[in-house]
Amino acid sequence: MKLGSFLICLLMASFSSIVSYAQDTLSLFIEETYTIEHSGTLEKCEIHIPVPRDYYKRQSIKNIQFSGSAYYSKIGNSTYAVYELSGTDLERYSYINAIIEIDIFDYDLTVAKKNGSAMALKKGQRRTYLRKTGYYKLPKEKLDSNLISQSSNIVEKTQKIHEFVVNHVHYQDIIGKSKGAAYALEEGKGGHKEYADLMTALLRYNKIPARRVSGFTLKMDTSSNISSELGTSEHAWVEVYFNDLGWVPFDPGRSDGNTKINFNNLTNKYIYLRFDELDKGISWKRWGLGQIQIKLDRKVRLKN
């Protein structure tokens, strides 16, 4: 898809998504610099950079600009800017710049109950979000009656699972891929991905569609006010599908020990990038004998 056509589609979708509801909004200007370091002899490389997209009642993209020549590709449920660079290109490309203007909206269970709308899951989608494989496979001997609820109230079942995960898991910084739900359940520790995977798995074992989503969040200062220059943190959280509300986000990792984030309430500081545990962050392929490494520097500020 051409960049111009893609941006026009984004802008049209953004306009339609923000006129129908009023929520607390943050208007942000994001500048990202991807520094490319390489050594040895490379014939070519392909770089995939995750791109935020419009997400109904969560975020609205106003503008996206990437330096150089890129095209957009949808992989899984996520969108990526793709660069195909030859060895000669790599000698000229030492970095890639991206500028993103985005509005993000507060959205949580409290908002969804007042302003949510259900979008029906197709049978295939429902099956996907009920799979208990990979990161979400749990040992049967650990699934006692406390973890499989007999309640018919889906929200109550979800809250019980959320509270179990928050109380059971203790934070441990884990770099790289998630160790999965079984690790979090058996070891009682993990990072935000493990919190999200355990909650997702337990929901699926209770026949409730759920998924891990990821992106980054904005860091608040000690007074809980957002300054003009914002820090960011890579993060993973959970979305649960309710028949009458659609997808609703929850953040068990940030709810642990936090008085402002809980089952009912989140803050409007989430930027969604990936919608599936198999969707990747920035990644690259290389051809040849050389090596490549890409480092990201991200700066976020409030729009005037």
CATH number for the domain harbouring residue 222: 3.10.620.30
Do the domain assignments include residue 274? no
In this predicted model, what pLDDT tens digit does every residue of 128-151 receive, in sequence order?
Answer: 999 999 999 998 887 877 688 777
- Give start and end residues of each alpha helix (H) in the chain: 3-18, 87-92, 109-115, 123-128, 154-168, 181-187, 192-205, 252-255
Domain count, the chain: 2
Q: With bands split at pLDDT 50, 70 and 90, how would you rate the model's confidence at 229?
A: low
Residues 6+ apart with CB under 8 A from 203: 158, 161, 209, 210, 238, 240
Question: Which of the four pLDDT bands, split at 50, 70 and 90, describes residue 225?
Answer: very low
Residue 221 within a domain = yes
For residue 76, tell me if it sits in a domain: yes
Let me know whether 212 and 72 are in one domain: no
Q: What is the per-residue pLDDT across 253-283, written as a single tens digit (0 to 9) for each?
A: 999 887 789 999 998 889 999 988 777 889 9
Query: Same domain for 134 and 262?
Result: yes
Beta-bridge mates of residue 283: 48
- Vertex 196: Cα angle to 195 and 197 (nearest 5): 95
Same domain, 101 and 114: no
pLDDT digits (tens, 9 = 90+) for 68-104: 889 999 988 889 999 999 988 888 878 999 999 999 9
* pLDDT value of residue 12: 41
Q: What is the Cα–Cα distance from 147 to 207, expressed in whole angstroms?
A: 12
Q: Say what the alpha-carbon torsion angle 116, 119, 124, 127 is, to the nearest 10 degrees.
A: 20
pLDDT of residue 252: 96
β partners of residue 51: 79
Q: Domain range for residue 226?
A: 109-267
Are both 11 and 158 inside the same structural domain?
no
Task: State the average pLDDT over residues 58-64.
Answer: 96
Judged against a pLDDT cut of 90, whether residue 51 lies above it is answered with yes
Q: Mark whether 188 and 230 lie in a shared domain.
A: yes
Q: Out of 169-173, 188-192, 225-229, which region has the weakest mean confidence (pLDDT)?
A: 225-229
Return the percentage of the chain with pLDDT > 90, whole number.
Answer: 59
Q: In this structure, how many other beta carbons lie within 10 angstroms of the beta carbon of residue 155?
A: 18
- Residue 86 domain flag: yes
Distance CA 197, CA 100 (A): 29
- Least confident range from 18-32, 118-132, 148-162, 164-178: namely 18-32
Secondary structure element (H or E) that encloses residue 296, with its range: strand 291-302
